[in-house]
Chains A and B, each alone.
Chain A
Amino acid sequence: GAGVSQTPSNKVTEKGKYVELRCDPISGHTALYWYRQSLGQGPEFLIYFQGTGAADDSGLPNDRFFAVRPEGSVSTLKIQRTERGDSAVYLCASSSRGGILAGELFFGEGSRLTVL
């Protein structure tokens, strides 16, 4: 596809359940970012991949959150034992450059997670 694709667009789950959110970046983009956006707030950094490795995971709030990018393209954000406070829009972005210049981040439309 031409842009960053995120699935599902909406996910409703119950407290304590496990969820996976998928991001398909723009083809050829080596840098991939996950952000979380709560209602009325700016995007909050979670984790950044350069290729297959997590270059910076300092934004992950706790060990219930984990992300992978095994082949350097598609990434999955995994949340264990979901809590109501995890409810937010999870945004994925990709960039053709990373490490030296953030350059332009291209964002997907997000996955809206609601934890009941």
Chain B
Amino acid sequence: QQQVKQSPQSLIVQKGGISIINCAYENTAFDYFPWYQQFPGKGPALLIAIRPDVSEKKEGRFTISFNKSAKQFSLHIMDSQPGDSATYFCAASWGGNKLVFGAGTILRVKS
């Protein structure tokens, strides 16, 4: 049973464009929602994270939008760059013990 559903599976964006990746969850006990970035042959690395008491968090070109009532959250990458080409995973946790990950989105930014 997939606890975090992520879409799209893949995404192609022009350099300078906005990349948007969406995630939905069912478990209302989730209290921490991070996004991880993974390059080929590497482990995932934390990009940005949010807790459900805020609706938006911005760090540089990366923004998480969180909709608690809809049980959805999304990652926006502004001014997308070729170096942003990677696989992105949304994740969620409750009680702080472990993360459950979405299936991933392969992002390709065309120069």
Contact = CB atoms under 8 A, between A and B. Distances in A.
Interface stretch (A69-77, A80-88, A102-110): A102-110
A98 B97 CA distance: 6
B100 A45 contact: yes
A1 to B, nearest CB: 14
Interface stretch (B12-20, B58-66, B75-83, B101-109): B101-109
Contact of A56 (B45, B89, B97, B101): B97
A4 B91 CA distance: 20
B99 A105 contact: yes
Interface of A: 4, 33, 35, 40-45, 48, 55-56, 59, 91, 93, 97-110
18 contacts: A4-B43, A40-B104, A42-B89, A42-B102, A43-B89, A43-B101, A45-B98, A56-B98, A59-B98, A91-B43, A91-B44, A93-B43, A99-B96, A101-B32, A101-B96, A104-B46, A105-B46, A109-B43
